[in-house]
Amino acid sequence: MTLSADALTKRFPDGTLAVDGVSFTVAAGECLAIIGESGCGKTTTLKMLNRLVEPTGGSIAFAGEEVTTLKPEALRRRIGWVMQGDGLFPHMTVAENIAVTPRLLNWDKARIDARVDALIEQVRLSVSEHRGRYPAQLSGGQRQRVAIARALSVEPELLLLDEAFGALDPLTRGALQDDFTRLRRELGFAAVMVTHDMAEALLIADRILVMKAGRVVRTGTPEDLLRDPGDAYVEELLAMPRQQARAIERLEAGHA
Amino acid sequence: MPDRLDEAVANLPGYLGGHMQLVLSGLLISVLIAVPLGIFAARNRTLAGPVLGVASTLQTIPSLALLALMVPILGGRIGFAPAFIALTLYGILPILRNTVVGLQGVDPVVREAARGTGMTPLQSLQQVELPLALPTIIAGLRTATVWIVGTATLATPVGATSLGNYIFSGLQTRDWTTVIFGCLVAAGLALLLDQAIRLAELAARERKRAPAFAGIAIAAVMAMGAALPLVTGTSAARGIGSGEGEVMAGIEGRTVVIGAKGFTEQYILAALLERVLEDAGADVEIRENLGSTIAFDALRSGEIDVYVDYTGTIWATVMEREERAGRYDMFVRMAGWLREEHGILALGRLGFENAYGYAVRRDWAEENGIATIADLSGRSVRVGGDPEFFARAEWLRSRDAYGLQDARTRPMDSTFMYGALRDGEVDAVSAYTTDGRISDYDLVVLDDPLQILPPYDAVMLISPDAARNPALAGTLSVLLNAIPAETMRQANAMVDLDGATPGEAAAWLYGEVVAAED
Ligand SMILES: Nc1ncnc2c1ncn2[C@@H]1O[C@H](COP(=O)(O)OP(=O)(O)O)[C@@H](O)[C@H]1O
Ligand SMILES: [Mg+2]
């Protein structure tokens, strides 16, 4: 088991109960999607996993260790993180952004250079063209690819993604989702992926966790959820992708 | 004109070098204080307000006052130290403020990204926050640079050599060539340094050429500052007596530091003392344009060995005596007090008085039937005078004794007050009785029947340390009672009216009073 969260709770100092007793597990290589409407506590849950937010209750075990026993910086250097908005350092080139964590871990320069070049290729950017550019000189999709490359820099067992594809146009987003699935197959990392897009969760994740107002309302594989939503809220979330799929089927049938 | 310019150019290495030393060291220490403090304040939001408040308050102290205050705070030290500290305090605010603003302006998303990639707070500061705040911090540094270059010209009255020496001396001797020259060099220096910093920053941003470009620019500027004083060979020598406690005899080959306040007569007398001491084989250094009380503090602490002051000034300002005293009585009592209280040797009187007196235009006096200060009573006359005068007991007491309550005071630089009187902009001025312009502009000094205005005998004062070397007093004794008031007035007129340099006037004076005796 790569990750297991038990009864995670977060009450902010101002009294907001953002996360209320959330439990889940992520197996090695598995992709868990956390889905729910804006403000339901997805980001807070994700940030507790690498201790950017300290839980006020519950426990987290990563690779068999209780995370509160690890130094936060050491933990974060072992877990890849793609934050909401790309979060790239504007004063660093693509290569420097990707090299941040390896440098913190004191890798030697040759190893860092080789790793950076390999990652640029893996996220389907061009070493010759993009390596020395600054984030401001890239498109939104390219920036997101760099953010993913940066999160993968030290070959982490676990990747955390917070609406990583949310702000992109549909074509770019589709391409990026495909590449993400391919990378996961090639590199075998586990992932916790926060999204508010049910279609994305259905297409990419192995398992889906539905949150509402800080609580878990349903956990299951995409097939489980489609077969038996089990909850009116989940039903609601599934309605839109279903409608769209049917409409497209009808159109295609009509043309045939 | 051309020789004025030649002289200005000849002084350039020393003045510019002194200025550069003040500016660069002030800036360097400002940065070393303001940047860490700014980092600390930016991280503790409750601290940011008070810290910026204190720095802003320092900024509102007028720069000249801040500089002058440093002298008593440092126990009478003049020269580099007080000027350097005041300039450093001045440079802190813009750098501190921009450091705080720059760091607080870093996007929270980027700061969170730094944490998320595994940086410690220190690594985040070094690798992310400071680099992103750097343009703002540099902008603060540039502001500080321009401020410090400008304010350093005010370091002259506390005895630090700077480009202000051109401005202060030129203003007092009405030598506009020198004033403009000083202003242009100071402005040029401000622009140059500002651009050097800008180029270094640009180079740092185009990261490839960063080290080379920035290094060259900064190194060039530093080298200029460091090298100039070497070229002129000036060093901040202290007085001759500063060799711990030993009694020294002889004067040949020793360095004597002469002080002078910031007006024509003082420049001339300093140059005269210089000639006399150099005749005896001493090396002489002159610290001129010292503020009035700063000169005395510097003498007491041994920063200067000798200077000329006036009995009435010491009596009222230093001894804080309220009572009146006659000319000779005052000298004797002053000399005893100085020796007793401070170990200062009042060598003796030069022979002339340079008193304050109320001067008016002769035609105006005749028209209005005015012959004594008492005749001004009850009139709403406009009285011009240097700002120091209106703060002194002489003004307050003569105002009360002669009923001058209705007079309107117009403080102005003493350089301009005689012209203002001639041109009818004021009706009376607090003139110096040895000023050459009194006879030249057809002015008269009003009688003082109640003897309110104290005597102002010019006296040579020798520092406690230097007083241990009898050779200094012995050498200077040739000037005792040697300068009649009329002779001094002529020497002053040479500079103030005929455009001679103080050095030229001193040469003439030397011929009159020293060479004539031989
Ligand atoms: N630092 C904070 N202090 C107080 N409340 C917060 C803080 N961060 C988030 N919240 C609140 O917690 C709830 C969950 O926020 P978040 O986890 O960001 O939701 P999501 O990512 O699902 O949109 C929201 O009501 C939000 O306003
Ligand atoms: Mg969120």
Query: What is the model's pLDDT at position B242?
Result: 46
Output the CA B107–ligand 1 centroid distance in Å.
18
Residue B371's CB is within 10 A of a number of other CB atoms, namely: 14
Joined tokens for residue B350? 């030069």
Domain A1-78+156-222 has CATH 3.30.460.80: no
Question: Ligand 1: which of A9, A10, A12 to mutate, judged by most atoms within 8 Å of the beta carbon?
Answer: A12
> B498 CB near a chain A CB, below 8 Å?
no
For the CA of A41, the nearest atom of ligand 1: 17
Please give the angle made by the CA atoms of B156, B161 and B162, to the nearest 5 degrees.
75
ipTM above 0.90, yes or no: yes
What is the CATH code for B252-354+456-517? 3.40.190.10
Q: What is the DSSP letter of B460?
A: E
CA distances, B185 to each of B146, B164, B178 (Å) = 13, 10, 11
Q: What mean pLDDT comes out for the span A167-173?
A: 85
Structural domain boundaries in chain B:
2-232, 252-354+456-517, 356-445
Domains B2-232 and B252-354+456-517 share a fold: no
CB contact under 8 A, B114 and A89: yes
Tell which wins on pLDDT, A111 or B1.
A111
3-state secondary structure of B167: helix
CB contact under 8 A, B113 and A104: no
> B57 CB near a chain A CB, below 8 Å?
no
For the CA of A163, the nearest atom of ligand 1: 21
Each residue's pLDDT expressed in tens, for chain B with a length of 518 residues: 557 788 888 889 889 999 999 999 999 999 999 999 999 999 887 888 888 888 888 888 888 888 888 888 888 788 889 999 999 999 999 999 999 999 999 999 999 999 999 999 999 999 999 999 999 999 999 999 999 999 999 998 888 889 998 988 887 777 888 899 999 999 999 998 888 888 888 877 775 555 556 566 666 666 666 565 554 444 444 555 444 444 456 777 788 999 999 889 999 999 999 999 999 889 999 998 888 788 998 999 888 999 999 998 899 888 988 888 888 999 999 999 999 999 999 999 999 999 888 999 999 999 999 999 999 988 889 999 887 788 777 788 889 999 998 888 888 887 788 989 999 899 999 998 888 888 889 999 998 888 888 889 999 999 998 998 888 999 999 999 999 988 999 999 999 888 888 999 999 999 988 876 55
Joined tokens for residue B157? 């009255």
Query: What is the model's pLDDT at position B382?
Result: 92
Please compute, for residue B267, the number of CA atoms within 13 A of its CA located in the half-sphere on the CB side.
Answer: 24
Which residue, judged by its Cα, is nearest atom 20 of ligand 1? A39
Query: What is the model's pLDDT at position B227?
Result: 60
Contacts of A100 in chain B (CB under 8 A): 117, 119, 127
Distance from C-alpha of A123 to C-alpha of A176, rounded to nearest angstrom: 9
What is the CATH code for B356-445? 3.40.190.120
CA distances, A68 to each of A44, A201, B161, B348 (Å) = 16, 29, 62, 84
Q: Which CATH number fits domain B2-232: 3.30.70.2860, 3.40.50.2000, 3.40.50.300, 1.10.3720.10?
A: 1.10.3720.10
Nearest CA in chain B to A156: B117
Tell me whether residue B514 is exposed, middle or buried, using C-beta atoms within 10 angstroms of its C-beta: 0 to 12, 13 to 18, 19 or more.
middle
> B131 CB near a chain A CB, below 8 Å?
yes
Query: What is the model's pLDDT at position A153?
Result: 95
Distance from C-alpha of B404 to C-alpha of B355, rounded to nearest angstrom: 19
The CB of A93 under 6 Å from ligand 1? The reply is no
Structural domain boundaries in chain A:
1-78+156-222, 93-153
Query: What is the model's pLDDT at position B236?
Result: 46
Distance from C-alpha of B377 to C-alpha of A57, rounded to nearest angstrom: 88
Tell which wins on pLDDT, A44 or B386.
A44
CB contact under 8 A, A100 and B120: no
The CB of A14 under 6 Å from ligand 1? The reply is yes
